[in-house]
Amino acid sequence: MIFGIGLDLLNMTRVERLFDRYGDRFVEHVLTDEESLQFRTARRKIHYLATRFSGKEAIAKALGTGLRSPVTLHSISIISSEIGKPDLFFDLKLKQYLDDNRIGPIFVSFSHEGDMLSAYAIAESLV
């Protein structure tokens, strides 16, 4: 059963302006340590930042919490597998929240066209 869905639409130009203005401070604000490691080697850095930001927004919407504790930019890591699949990892506080609310797997998918990026998330219920 579906617990919730979330959709986020983002203009990547906005992320580019924020990155140009704040640089590493913006990266540290959005990315976890694990994501930062992938970011360093990413060919399309703005795209990488945009997908992580938008994906976390979509997940927060699917969970119905918005971006506030325990669902924060740093409680979710979106790590690309070898084939580019976005794998999700959660910190302990968020894992506990998911367990307490009987929320099972969460999935996220991205699509982009030109400067526009969309992120779609589905959270499954264990009930």
What does pTM read for this prediction? Answer: 0.95
Domain containing 17 equals: 2-125
Q: Is the pLDDT score of 91 beyond 90?
A: yes
Residue 74 token pair: 């740093």
Tell me phi and psi for residue 91, to 5 degrees.
-70, 170
Instruction: List the CATH number of the domain containing 54.
Output: 3.90.470.20
Burial class (CB in 10 A: 0-12, 13-18, 19+), 101: middle
The count of domains in the chain is 1
pLDDT band at 114 (very low <50, low <70, confident <90, very high): very high
Q: Is the pLDDT score of 127 beyond 90?
A: no
